[in-house]
Structure 1
Amino acid sequence: MVYLIFLLAAIITVVLAVRLSTYADVLSKRTSLGGMMVGTILLAGATSLPELTTSATAIYVNNPNIAVGNVLGSNLFNLLILAVFDVIYRKNKMLTSIENDHVITSMVSLGLTGLIFAAMIIPNGPQIFGVGIESFLLIFFYFGSMKIITSGQSEVTNAEAAASINESDHHTRAISLKHAKIGFVISSLLIFVTGSALTIAGDHIAHSTGLSSTFVGSFLIAGATSLPEVVTVLVAIQLLNFNLAIGNIVGSNIFNLLILAFIDVLYREGNILGTVSSVSSITALAVMVLNIIFIATILYWQAHNQNSKVYAVPSIMLIIIYGISFYIIFSLS
């Protein structure tokens, strides 16, 4: 029964997350919320809401391993999504024609993940009101990097982004602003329920099967909450909008890391990164390795923009490393 609940909650969460993203898109275009920064936070928050609700619920049921594993596992799964689609659509060579800004955002993601990894292997770091100092640093570096990224974009990039929005308006034109507001609120409430169901069912699966909560959070729950990104990336690639595909994944990964600061505040038994299983550090390390491969691949293909029979090799390496990470964490469960 618990597996059926998990499956149904996963399916409903995916459907709601896709609708939530659509409503957020309408709100960002038709309101005076203001600027790319707010729009980016709104949209990223919408697609990351499943991760937020599942991690928050995990804290409520006193399972910090699922809370942290869900966030890190989602970031790991998101990079797998890019690698798989890059291999499937290798003839498009999407990494050879994307903007330099993605390298910067990927480096931000790598740096923030490194901060989290350091906090895990040095669990007795300083705390402020029971919250680890790394959570405050995470918030500071997140908003600081977002300001640098958005202010550093060129006029051409902003113009291209505007053109892209205009081209995609037909997807949201039929939705009124009132409908979008109501739909966003209702979808947010419902996704909180389904996200909570995912966590509670995952917690029962962990106890009934003997699998570790870290494994369940890093792969089962993380995979379910990351499925909306699969749909978004697939559509973007089919539209040949490779910047949208890459930006959605990298942006979501950065926002997901911010969730760790939020759940650290909710967790009242100390620094959450210092109390989770050491296996979670393997997930964080795997995310860092995949990020490095991704950044190196972009930089290489920007310097060697040519047809090559080995184009898909880095993405295949990324998939293999994901599989190795899966095996290691499963073995330690």
Structure 2
Amino acid sequence: MTMLLPWLELAACALAIAFAGPVLTRYGDVIARLTGLSRSWVGLVLLATATSLPELFTGISAVTVANAPNIAVGDALGACVFNLLILVVLDALTRDEPIYRKIDQGHILTAGFGIILIGFVGAFILLSRETPGLHLFQVSAFTPVIIVLYIVAIRAAFVYERRTPRMPVDDGPAVEISLREAILRYALAAAVVVVAGTLLPFVGIEIADAMGWQRSFVGTLLIAAVTTLPEFVVAVSALRLGATDMAVANLLGSNLFDVLILAIDDLADLDGPLLSTVSPVHAITAFAAVIMSGIFVVALLFRPTSRFFGFVGWVGLSLLMVYVLSSYTIFLSGE
């Protein structure tokens, strides 16, 4: 029973997050329609921020209360990999043609900034092991750089949206609630995500101790999988709404925010600097996310037409292969 209890707690958190996901999508779409914003912008900023709240509160809890920095870093970087893996599912669910032929090529901008941010973190994880003096008090030198790069990325996406006029979102049934009520319901769903996300690092530590697993592995795979549930549910829900660009923007925007979370975690970690105290195996996760982002960019430019067995193409197989190989390496090498 002692071994079973952490898994039950994990299931409860997962159910709470899965329940809140469709609500976030529904009212995010309502907000887009009421404000005239594009679905891509809503997905990139509004939905991405809300669905990344589990990673944010998991990371803060891990470094402040649970004293588990490996879970914090593993969760944030593992979530980046999982977000890109969700693209495989979205492509499989898009039965008429590959999803990369349906979405706006403007996503390359967000993916490119994701490559820069995630690659920078991976390099700094390795560099901080060799040059431990790259910090001021307990804050890593990478933290202000990450914050600036994130602001630049969001600003660039905003400018791109303004340069690319789009029709306002007005399809679907008439909206019968006010903008204030939509924002309130959106915030309530986000609160459910916050509570569940705050509990996750403690559940992860219990599972790691009960199963004898390495905390780097638990943070990167197990906790990251659960905290990515909002992105998964929101992306699938948006796809069913016909808002394919909002689904993809949510995933790519979440990756940007997940890297920003590492900077926030570093500020909250009084025993830091954060990246100097974690296992170097997390660099494998970061570079796997960079490679997967590169595959996405190639797919969006090439626009493949063929798929094996009618639902998976070379893009999906490549993304899946990178994920499996990186996960296996982390399992063997984690600390």
In the alignment, which residue of structure 2 is the partner of 1:145?
A: 153
Q: 1:12 aligns with which of 2, 16, 23?
A: 16
Amino acid at match of 2:316: S
CA distance 1:88–1:136, shift in 2 (3 Å): same
5+ residue gaps, structure 2: none
Q: Which residue of 1 aligns with 2:329?
A: 328
1:57 alignment counterpart: 61
> What SS does structure 1 have at the residue aligned with 2:161?
coil
Superimposed CA distance per residue, residues 257-313 of structure 1 (whole angstroms, 9 cap, x where no aligned partner) = 111111110001121111111121111111111111111222222xxx6x4457811
Q: How far apart are 1:50 and its partner, in Å?
A: 1.5
Change in 2 beyond 3 A, CA 1:309/1:264: closer
Q: What residue number does 2:115 align with?
A: 110
What is the rounded CA distance, in whole Å, between the counterparts of 2:25 and 2:137 in structure 1? 35
Aligned residue-pair number: 322
* Residue 38 of structure 1, CA deviation: 8.8
Q: One-letter code of the match for 2:17?
A: T
2 CA distance for matches of 1:88 and 1:39? 19
Question: 1:32, 1:154 → 2: CA distance?
Answer: 12
Contact 1:290 / 1:318 at 8 angstroms: preserved in 2? Answer: yes
**Residue aligning to 2:166:** 159
Instruction: State the AA in 2 paired with 1:118.
Output: A
Native 8 Å contact 1:90 1:312 kept in 2: no
Aligned residues of 1:84 and 1:319 also touching (Cα < 8 A): no
* CA shift in 2, pair 1:29/1:244, >3 Å: closer
CA 1:22–1:190 in 2, change beyond 3 Å: closer, same or farther?
Answer: same
Cα RMSD after superposing both structures: 2.8
User: Which whole-Å deviations, capped at 9, do the CAs of 1:59-112 have from their partners, x for residues lacking one?
Assistant: 121101111111111110011110233245364122123322111110100000
* Deviation of the 1:30 alpha carbon: 5.2
Q: Does 1:95 align with 2:108?
A: no
How much does 1:247 deviate?
1.4
Q: Is the 8 A contact 1:51 1:70 kept in 2?
A: yes
SS class of match (2:166): helix
Q: Structure 1: which amino acid aligns with 2:227?
A: T
Deviation at 1:175, TM superposition (A): 4.1
Q: Extract unaligned runs of 5+ from structure 1.
A: none
Aligned to 1:269: 271
More helix by share: 1
Q: Report the TM-score, using the length of structure 2 for normalisation.
A: 0.86
Letter of the 1:50 counterpart: P
The whole-number CA distance in structure 2 between the counterparts of 1:39 and 1:91 is: 23
Change (3 A) 1:244 1:125: farther
Q: What are the residue-to-residue correspondences of 1:121-132 with 2, within 5 Å?
A: 121-123=126-128, 124=132, 126-132=134-140
> What CA distance in whole angstroms lies between the structure 1 residues aligned with 2:196 and 2:239?
28
